[in-house]
Amino acid sequence: MPDKKRILLIDDDEGMCRMMKDILLDSGYAVKAYTRSVEAVEAFRAGHFDLAVTDIKMPEMDGLEVLGRLKEKEPGLPIIIISAFATLETSIEALRRGAHDMVTKPFEPDELLYRIKNALRHKQLLTENSELRVELAGRFDFKKIIGSSDALNNVLETVKRVAIRDTSVLVSGESGTGKELIAQAIHYNSPRKNQKYLAINCGALPGSVLEGELFGYKKGAFTGANESRKGLLEEADGGTLFLDEVGNLPINVQKLLLRFLQEQEFRRIGDNTSIKVDVRIVSATNADLQEGCRTGEFREDLYYRLNVFNIHLPPLRERPEDIALLAAHFIKLQNQKFATQIKGLTVEAAQALAAYAWPGNVRQLRNVIEACMAMEDSDLLTLPVLRQFIEVGTGGAGAEPAMSSSPAAPWEDDYAASLARFEMEYLKQLLQNAGGNIEAAAKAAGMNMATIYRKIKKYDLSKEDY
């Protein structure tokens, strides 16, 4: 049986402290509760707890100071702040100081348990991610692959398995998902890791130029060929060649590549002598190559040669839990590059990033963060600046889905009233569709359960409403 998770609980209200302790004990947690914050901080020892929950308004030492003191002793400890007087300013300050989350009083037991479960899972994922990186140190180049979602971890586990097998791999996925990073990870964990890794974008060059780049040419083969030149296949001998946008290969080049994959040899343009090399081919596409085979635009025999093993990289919208980690990573990179001091995002901006559909995937997110940092005047990226670069709550990508029916004449109310009415109706319909299941409703809307609970309270909805 797994060990119980240990929780430090601090609240000067004895009744509230006792109630929370009972809730946590009933849910299988080990709890150490204090009603004096100073005593709790003095008794705290790093490594003794998995998570801390503290009230913010307390005598002697308030929750923000408790947060700082605990973080000094154990920086990786997730801490949840509880407050009956939460403001946006307080929330931002708590997050700046390292709080994992905030819960506003009054709250339902399920909401507290959900926040705790989420914080512990986040810590576990970070620990597992860290252990994985240590395990793969020197074997994988995962430094640029940011994320802790199950979808991404499944991809990385697949990379780990296929990389050691010297066979052709086709990486599929939408544009901007990071397919070349996966190709690099395959190479740097393969027996070829100490040899060359070369890459070419097959959609960026005309067919005649592409053929020369891949296979090379002999002096005098065509006008301008003043000397013989090695192609990428020859240069990559012993290593890996990555063919990006492989679906754009012209038919004549497809034929030559197929011959190489079958024979492991090729001829330079204008040469009658075959050159034998040992190169692993990793290719990538955002197109449907099977459809290309049906239309005759892509050779079916080449498709099966390239697609010995397929790795599909999911789009960013299917792994929303990675968005915050990626955003933080890109902010850090920009701070280092331009000596700026952006600390993160406001709550509203973070929620907008999480809700957006990201049709351009990770590449688009990186570009948006860079653009926002160039325009932002404060030390946090704000929603008004973010609105300049993505559609937020206006019916575009990332906006909440429109209702199938809505009250008549919405323009008769002011903006705030219309928005509130829409949100309430949306929430009711969402819960009805989920059969009243809060967790299912949150998943369907791309929201967290705590947000659903808050909105139910905000609009005073009862179970009869949904």
Q: What is the structure's pLDDT at 97?
A: 84
For residue 33, is pLDDT > 70?
A: yes
CATH C-level class of 317-386? mainly alpha
- In the chain, the percentage of residues whose pLDDT exceeds 70 is 88
Q: What is the structure's pLDDT at 446?
A: 67
Q: 233 or 83, which is more confident?
A: 233
The count of residues in the chain is 466
**DSSP code at position 318:** G
For residue 138, is pLDDT > 50?
A: no
**DSSP code at position 413:** S
CATH of domain 410-465: 1.10.10.60
Q: 25 or 411, which is more confident?
A: 25
What mean pLDDT value characterizes the chain? 85
Enter the pTM of the model. 0.55
Q: 461 or 383, which is more confident?
A: 383
| Four-point Cα dihedral 340, 343, 349, 355, nearest 10 | 100
Q: What is the structure's pLDDT at 98?
A: 86
Please state whether beta strands 309-312 and 274-276 pair in parallel, antiparallel, or not at all (unpaired). unpaired
Domain chopping of the chain, boundaries: 6-130, 150-314, 317-386, 410-465
> Are residues 200 and 244 in contact, defined by beta-carbon separation less than 8 angstroms?
yes
Give the angle subtended at the CA of 346 by the CAs of 93 and 128, to the nearest 5°. 85
Phi and psi based region of residue 103 (left: phi greater than 0; alpha: psi -120 to 50; beta: remaining): beta
Burial profile 383-406: b = 16 or more Cβ within 10 angstroms, e = fewer: bebbeeebebeeeeebebeeeeee
In the structure encoding, which two tokens stand for residue 362, read together? 């990770």
Measured CA distances, 192 to 136, 160, 186 (Å): 16, 14, 10
Q: What is the structure's pLDDT at 403?
A: 32
Q: Which whole number is the average pLDDT over 247-258? A: 94
Q: pLDDT band at 402, cuts 50/70/90?
A: very low
Q: What is the structure's pLDDT at 443?
A: 76
Closest by Cα among 184, 212, 210, 207 to 280: 184
Q: How far does Cα 242 stand from its chain's mean position?
A: 24
For residue 296, is pLDDT > 60?
A: yes
Q: What is the structure's pLDDT at 278?
A: 95
In the structure encoding, which two tokens stand for residue 3, read together? 């060990």
Architecture of domain 150-314: 3-Layer(aba) Sandwich (3.40)
Q: What is the structure's pLDDT at 364?
A: 94
**Helix, strand, coil distribution of the chain in percent, nearest 5:** 50, 15, 40
| CATH pick for 6-130 out of 2.60.40.10, 3.65.10.10, 3.40.50.2300, 3.30.2080.10 | 3.40.50.2300
For residue 379, is pLDDT > 60?
A: yes
Q: Is 69 exposed, middle or buried (0-12, 13-18, 19+ CB in 10 A)?
A: middle
Cross-strand pairs, 55: 82
**Is 317-386 in the same CATH topology as 150-314?**
no
For residue 213, is pLDDT > 80?
A: yes
Cross-strand pairs, 6: 30
Q: What is the structure's pLDDT at 91?
A: 73
pLDDT tens by residue, 2-18: 568 999 999 999 999 99
Q: Which whole number is the average pLDDT over 456-465? A: 80
* Beta strands across the sheet bearing 197-201: 197-201, 240-244, 280-285, 169-172, 309-312
Q: pLDDT band at 316, cuts 50/70/90?
A: very high
Q: What is the structure's pLDDT at 413?
A: 41
> Are residues 360 and 177 in contact, defined by beta-carbon separation less than 8 angstroms?
no
Q: Using omega within 30 degrees of 0 as the cis cutoff, is the peptide bond preceding 191 cis?
A: no
For residue 168, is pLDDT > 60?
A: yes
- In the chain, the percentage of residues whose pLDDT exceeds 90 is 52
Closest by Cα among 144, 137, 237 to 189: 137
For residue 89, is pLDDT > 80?
A: no
Q: 23 or 127, which is more confident?
A: 23
Q: 356 or 456, which is more confident?
A: 356
